[in-house]
Structure 1
């Protein structure tokens, strides 16, 4: 082989190697990517049954039902739509009706979200931007008073 042919072979091998590395990297990123959905997003177009997503919203008052062991069923809403959620595990200390949560899991073909993890927000002011936009009125205040926890004095 001449020097020119050796250089061309080396450049070809480099291009093939970079293409393979990019393909493997993008595949790994795509498999590990989780999208954030609100109940309205799920109602409008449910993600595929094999897609792991994050579902965020407020726990509807009166919807928490405890089952055997660590099984819990509740409903998450965003003022427009509701999604039933099933979870088996220990809930966070801050979990309660009217509280904002983000749950990781999958939507079944029956429309029930099966959560693998449930996180409760710890700050009254913070919530994901997509959810905050759905829950605020024209004055910038939360418009879903029926989902908020009522504090008795």
Structure 2
């Protein structure tokens, strides 16, 4: 009788492990399109992503690169001090978007141009996403606004 209880306990533990594994795989599969990885311009130039990969790019809007096209089309370059990536965006830019300011964009890198579907700008005088700060520090470009 004791071996029957032990066998039942082992079956329950094995079933729970299988259920946990299956649920983890299903959650990962469901989130595969919802996860956007961050890349700095230097990383994109070193290893260009595939045209179907959606990711985030961040850095500073390069001075003198902002060009407004026909309609709501905007072209500019984003830089981290080491490299620049051309960006094209169709839509309304955030109010705080301007040259020499931090930005993060979501989109795809197609034929050497980042086609943004969403643009985010800093929300106050000192804010910059931590990923952008880290990338700028690696390039030796970042200056702490509090100093």
Bucket of the pairwise TM-score, normalised by the shorter protein: 0.7 to 0.9
1:66 counterpart residue number: 68
1:36-47 counterparts in 2 under 5 A?
Answer: 36-47=38-49
Could you list the structure 1 runs, at least 4 aligned residues long, displaced by more than 4 angstroms after superposition.
2-16
**2 CA distance for matches of 1:50 and 1:132?**
27
Say how many residue pairs are matched. 140
**2 CA distance for matches of 1:140 and 1:41?**
16
1:99-118 counterparts in 2 under 5 A?
Answer: 99-108=101-110, 110-118=111-119
1:81-100 counterparts in 2 under 5 A?
Answer: 81-100=83-102
| TM-score normalised by length of structure 2 | 0.79
| TM-score normalised by length of structure 1 | 0.76
Structure 1 residue 122, shift from structure 2 partner: 1.6
Structure 1 residue 36, shift from structure 2 partner: 0.9
Cα 1:42–1:12 change in 2 (3 A) is same
Gaps of 5+ in 1: 144-153
1:127 counterpart residue number: 128
What do residues 93-114 of structure 1 show as CA deviations (whole Å, max 9, x unaligned)?
1111111110010111x11000
Conservation of the 8 A alpha-carbon contact between 2:58 and 2:78: yes
Over the aligned positions, Cα root-mean-square deviation in angstroms equals 2.8
SS of match in other structure, 1:124 = coil
SS of match in other structure, 1:32 = coil
Gaps of 5+ in 2: none
1:147 counterpart residue number: none
**2 CA distance for matches of 1:58 and 1:96?**
9
**2 CA distance for matches of 1:30 and 1:124?**
34
1:146 counterpart residue number: none
Structure 1 residue 48, shift from structure 2 partner: 1.9
